[in-house]
Structure 1
Amino acid sequence: MKKIKWTDVRLVLMIGLLAFLYSFSSKRNEERKLLKTEVKFAGENMPFVTDEMVNNLLIQNFSSVTTIRKDKVDLNRLERELDDHEMIADAQVYATVDGTLKALVTQKTPIARVSNESSSYYIDYEGNKMPLSDNFSARVPLVFGKINEENRKGLTEVFQKIHDDDFLKKNITGAKILESGSLLMTNRNYDYGILFGKPINVDKKFNNYKAFFQHAMKDTLIGEYKMINLKFTQQVVCTK
């Protein structure tokens, strides 16, 4: 007759007990009701979307967050609903052990505000339309004219460069899209216009402009200019 190894029996019993406790704990955890929601925002502090707006989206299908059982929450669906919001770029939703429904929200980043006869809206960092907000107004260049599929990619690159560069972000205040497709920009502190030309060779043109600005500040002539022409990438043409 085979001898029973009590160490093996104890091991099997311990594994069974742990499995039972884990299953029991998981079951109780799933059946718990949520106690509250918590919203955090990632990235730049631009309150296009408020905590209240996100909370409403999270619990819009329930009378109250405290009526929701954790195992009944479809986190993927909640994330999709937040992602579909016209001001939100990305959302991550999860429920914690203590009964908190948490959402980490990344808002869209506007890089320009477009104004024309028919509408007014932002262009976000991806080049897509983004509506204006009643909660917050972004400090971005004001663009007059129409953005279409033909010029969208080039213009998005231009305003991305402005957004990402501290000097350009402070200096460039607006732009007009001319019939030729060229851009005529305005600056914050001086009366001259900046004829950027078509949205090509963007890095080279902006580097030329920054070099011109540093030089003009040194010889104090900057206030005398009426137009700074960046169309020619090999030189900057200034008109008084």
Structure 2
Amino acid sequence: MKKIKWNDVRLVLILGAVIFLYSFSSKRNDNRKLKEANIEFAQAEDFITHEKVNNLLIQNFGSIQSIRKDKLDLNSVEKSLDKNPMIDKAEVYATVDGKLKAKISQRKPVARIFLGEESYYIDYRGDKMPLSETYTARVPIVTGQVSSVEKKRLHELLNYINDDVFLTKNIIGIDITPGGSFKMKSRNHDFEILFGRPINVEKKFNNYKAFLQNAAKDTLVKQYKTINLKFTQQVVCTKK
């Protein structure tokens, strides 16, 4: 008669018990209903609120407490949130203790466009973005003949301003002429900045920064009417 290897038997029994307990626990976990939804914003809450996100979830899926974890389609939840024009990306997952977690990344506007009675934002990707009911972004206001400028060039210039700490605080307005030239307004000075077409952007803005740095020592800066940056080799100023 073959000798029974009790160590092997014990190992099989332990393994079977572990599989049973895991399956039982997993089944119980799947059958649980969600308790609540926790909303987290990747950046400061601005264009869309916790309440608005909760309302979106209720509109699409009803009460959170009525949903079983095993019936939850996380991909559908993410897609429903991504459809909101204020949301850039939503990441959704369920925790073991029955909570629905949603991490929301909002869209980032870089300018506000005014076209007659129509007004909207342009976001960091160059796409149109509607105004928010709860928040107004402090971004440059763009007016004039927006259609006279290639969309890509306008987008690149606006992103350049947005990425520069000094320019973000300094440039508050851009008016586009029918010929496609840019005229800009400064937050701290009364003069008009004649930027010209959106080419040689980095060189022109570097000239502008250098001018202001030198002009800070000159009390006559308040007497300037225009600062012309069209010529990349020099800055031409006219007085009032």
Q: Is it true that 1:159 corresponds to 2:167 in the alignment?
A: no
Q: CA deviation at 1:26?
A: 0.9
Tell me what 1:56 maps to: 55
Pair 1:42–1:192, CA change in 2 (3 A): same
Q: CA deviation at 1:148?
A: 4.5
Runs of 4+ in 1 over 3 A off after TM superposition: 146-150
In structure 2, runs of 5+ residues without a counterpart are none
Pair 1:46–1:203, CA change in 2 (3 A): farther
Tell me what 2:11 maps to: 11
Instruction: Find the aligned partners of 2:41 and 2:62 in 1 and give their Cα distance.
Output: 25
Whether contact under 8 Å (1:114, 1:145) holds in the other structure is no
Whether contact under 8 Å (1:157, 1:202) holds in the other structure is no
Q: CA deviation at 1:2?
A: 3.7
In structure 1, runs of 5+ residues without a counterpart are none
Instruction: Find the aligned partners of 1:146 and 1:57 in 2 and give their Cα distance.
Output: 37
Instruction: Find the aligned partners of 1:164 and 1:116 in 2 and give their Cα distance.
Output: 25
Instruction: Find the aligned partners of 2:60 and 2:118 in 1 and give their Cα distance.
Output: 33
Query: Which stretch shows the higher mean deviation, 6-15 or 210-219?
Result: 6-15
Tell me what 2:141 maps to: 142
Whether contact under 8 Å (1:205, 1:231) holds in the other structure is yes
Whether contact under 8 Å (2:78, 2:91) holds in the other structure is yes
Pair 1:154–1:46, CA change in 2 (3 A): farther
SS at match of 1:204: helix
Q: CA deviation at 1:197?
A: 1.2
SS at match of 1:161: helix
SS at match of 1:123: strand
Instruction: Find the aligned partners of 2:231 and 2:12 in 1 and give their Cα distance.
Output: 81
Q: CA deviation at 1:221?
A: 2.2
Whether contact under 8 Å (2:92, 2:103) holds in the other structure is yes
Q: Deviations over 1:57-100 (max 9, x none)?
A: 22323441111111111101111111121111111011111111
Tell me what 2:211 maps to: 212
Output aligned runs, 1:166-181, within 5 Å: 166-181=165-180
Tell me what 1:80 maps to: 79
Q: Deviations over 1:185-227 (max 9, x none)?
A: 0001211111111112111111111111101111222111111
Number of residue pairs matched? 239
Instruction: Find the aligned partners of 2:123 and 2:178 in 1 and give their Cα distance.
Output: 23
Tell me what 1:95 maps to: 94
What percent of counterpart residues are identical? 60
Whether contact under 8 Å (1:46, 1:136) holds in the other structure is no
Instruction: Find the aligned partners of 2:68 and 2:178 in 1 and give their Cα distance.
Output: 59
Instruction: Find the aligned partners of 2:29 and 2:66 in 1 and give their Cα distance.
Output: 15
Instruction: Find the aligned partners of 2:2 and 2:232 in 1 and give their Cα distance.
Output: 91
Instruction: Find the aligned partners of 2:110 and 2:45 in 1 and give their Cα distance.
Output: 12
Q: Is it true that 1:224 corresponds to 2:223 in the alignment?
A: yes
User: How high is the TM-score relative to the length of structure 1?
Assistant: 0.94
Instruction: Find the aligned partners of 1:108 and 1:141 in 2 and give their Cα distance.
Output: 16
Pair 1:46–1:139, CA change in 2 (3 A): farther
Q: Deviations over 1:90-134 (max 9, x none)?
A: 110111111111110010011100001251000001110000011
Tell me what 2:113 maps to: 114
SS at match of 1:155: helix
Q: CA deviation at 1:146?
A: 4.5
Output aligned runs, 1:181-196, within 5 Å: 181-196=180-195
Tell me what 1:36 maps to: 36
